[in-house]
């Protein structure tokens, strides 16, 4: 079955939250709000394995310990807070229910991306305890390291490392804009980079994982004929990828070269951008040209070359491929695939 076209379904009406007491959430939220906020932009700069990241990790550990939770650190440096022994639960055949998210950010990121999932996990635990709820298996709260990949360029590095999707050697060698490797940054932050690698012990502990994440779009707000839905349940991650298009031309002077004599790759770029949009509309996907490099990038110079990057995603992999093909054809270029991830369906448990 292909995933639902908008990725989200909202089976339950959860709009009437008027009776909900959000003060528990807000008290925790207020502790976290000032950490890593840039004074000038108001955005968040919480990058992996920086001193700022250390402050956030300390905050997480403190919040967990204040609730009597045991904190474990896995081989990638992800943090896990447990209500009871997760390994005993594995041995008993009832591995933990884990909730949580991440605390790192993109440059000048928003307040909710990541922290919403972490803070709501603590608030939910507080609420369950207040109501005398006794879980039949451990509850875990996760805080993933380097989820955004803002510093070392690989998103979800923490979870990729423990699952083996990112090899230890490659992870350690990744470097940031200043040339600092992940291994060096980890070392400075007190995490032994030699520890980095797949972590079966941690993965075994996770029976079910649920992440509450802020929606970074308007699909839920506009859902149900504009009446909106408070929460959607993601059933899958759309197929998605990134492609590079190298558009060649000939450098010439902007003043002295007649129009008919020009070979201007900026015109191909314009065609590429317009084609990406119209092909996405036609095939029911999204497509974005968000990064370009122009050579030599002078106001009065007809460029010799333009490189453009296309990000395309959609419910149907064939539709995404069709958009990429149409976009590349419009620019007379080949689309060089830099990454591709097929549809990832989420397993659901009913018990
Ligand atoms: Zn996030």
Ligand 1 center from residue 342 Cα (angstroms): 20
Predicted confidence at residue 19, as pLDDT, reads: 54
Segment 216-251, tens digit of pLDDT: 889 999 999 999 998 999 999 999 999 999 999 999
Question: Please, are residues 314 and 323 in contact by the beta-carbon 8 Å criterion?
Answer: yes
Which runs of consecutive H residues, i.e. helices, occur in 182-300? Answer: 182-188, 200-205, 219-222, 265-283
What's the alpha-carbon Rg for the chain, to the nearest Å?
Answer: 24
Predicted confidence at residue 20, as pLDDT, reads: 61
Ligand 1 center from residue 102 Cα (angstroms): 6
Ligand 1 center from residue 48 Cα (angstroms): 13
φ, ψ at 93 (rounded to 5°)? 80, 15
Question: Please, are residues 291 and 309 in contact by the beta-carbon 8 Å criterion?
Answer: yes
Q: Spell out the residues 6+ positions from residue 85 whose beta carbon is closer than 8 angstroms to its own.
A: 70, 138
Ligand 1 center from residue 251 Cα (angstroms): 42
Taking CA atoms, 22 is separated from 26, 60, 251, in Å, by: 6, 20, 60
Of 99-113, 157-171, 215-229, 273-287, least confident by mean pLDDT is: 215-229
Share of the chain above pLDDT 70, in %: 93
Ligand 1 center from residue 140 Cα (angstroms): 18
Ligand 1 center from residue 264 Cα (angstroms): 39
Which tops the pLDDT comparison, 351 or 211? 211
pLDDT confidence bin for 23, thresholds 50/70/90: confident
d(CA 207, CA 137): 9
Ligand 1 center from residue 91 Cα (angstroms): 32
Cβ-in-10-Å burial (0-12, 13-18, 19+) of 58 comes to: exposed
Q: Spell out the residues 6+ positions from residue 10 whose beta carbon is closer than 8 angstroms to its own.
A: 220, 223, 224, 229, 231, 232, 233
Segment 94-142, tens digit of pLDDT: 999 999 999 999 999 999 999 999 999 999 999 999 999 999 999 999 9
Predicted confidence at residue 247, as pLDDT, reads: 98
Ligand 1 center from residue 266 Cα (angstroms): 34
Ligand 1 center from residue 184 Cα (angstroms): 25
Ligand 1 center from residue 101 Cα (angstroms): 7
Ligand 1 center from residue 45 Cα (angstroms): 14
Cβ-in-10-Å burial (0-12, 13-18, 19+) of 45 comes to: middle
At residue 9, does pLDDT exceed 70? no
Predicted confidence at residue 350, as pLDDT, reads: 58
- 51-59, long-range: CB < 8 A, 24+ apart: 51/189, 53/103, 53/104, 53/189, 54/189, 54/190, 56/32, 56/103, 56/104, 57/103, 57/143, 59/31, 59/32, 59/35, 59/103
Ligand 1 center from residue 207 Cα (angstroms): 21
Ligand 1 center from residue 88 Cα (angstroms): 30
Ligand 1 center from residue 18 Cα (angstroms): 27
Ligand 1 center from residue 247 Cα (angstroms): 33
DSSP strand pairing (335-341 vs 240-248): antiparallel
Ligand 1 center from residue 46 Cα (angstroms): 12
Predicted confidence at residue 2, as pLDDT, reads: 35
User: How big is the chain, counted in residues?
Assistant: 351
DSSP character at residue 314: -
Ligand 1 center from residue 216 Cα (angstroms): 9
Mean residue pLDDT across the chain: 92
pTM for the model = 0.82
Ligand 1 center from residue 151 Cα (angstroms): 15
């Amino acid at each position: 079955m292909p995933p639902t076209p908008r990725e989200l379904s909202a089976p339950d009406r959860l709009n009437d939250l008027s009776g909900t007491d959000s003060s528990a959430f807000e008290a925790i939220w207020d502790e976290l709000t000032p950490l890593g906020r840039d004074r000038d932009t108001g955005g968040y700069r919480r990058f992996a394995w920086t001193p700022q990241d250390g402050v956030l990790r300390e905050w997480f550990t403190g919040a967990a310990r204040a609730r009597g939770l045991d904190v474990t650190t896995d081989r990638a440096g992800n943090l896990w807070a447990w209500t009871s022994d997760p390994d005993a639960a594995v041995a008993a055949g009832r591995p933990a229910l884990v909730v949580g998210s991440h605390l790192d950010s993109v440059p000048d990121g928003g307040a909710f991306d990541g922290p919403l999932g972490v803070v709501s996990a603590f608030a939910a635990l507080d609420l369950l305890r207040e109501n005398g709820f006794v879980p039949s298996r451990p509850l875990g709260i996760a805080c993933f390291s380097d989820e955004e990949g803002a510093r070392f360029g690989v998103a979800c590095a923490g979870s990729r490392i423990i699952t083996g999707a990112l090899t230890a050697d490659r992870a350690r060698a990744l470097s940031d804009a200043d040339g600092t490797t992940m291994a060096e940054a980890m070392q400075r932050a007190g995490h032994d980079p030699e520890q980095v690698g797949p972590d079966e012990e941690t993965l075994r502990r996770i029976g079910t994982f649920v992440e509450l994440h802020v929606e970074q779009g308007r699909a839920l707000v506009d859902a149900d004929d504009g009446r909106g839905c408070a929460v959607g349940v993601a059933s899958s991650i759309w197929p998605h990828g990134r492609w590079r298009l190298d558009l060649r031309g000939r450098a010439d002077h902007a003043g002295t070269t007649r129009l008919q004599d020009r070979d201007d790759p900026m015109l191909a770029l314009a065609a590429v951008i317009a084609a990406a949009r119209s092909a996405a509309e036609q095939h029911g996907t999204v497509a974005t040209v968000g990064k370009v490099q122009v050579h030599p990038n002078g106001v009065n110079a007809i460029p010799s070359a333009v490189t453009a990057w296309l990000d395309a995603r959609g419910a149907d992999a064939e539709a995404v491929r069709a958009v990429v093909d149409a976009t590349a054809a419009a620019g007379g270029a080949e689309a060089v695939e830099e990454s591709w991830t097929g549809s990832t369906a989420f397993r659901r448990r009913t018990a």
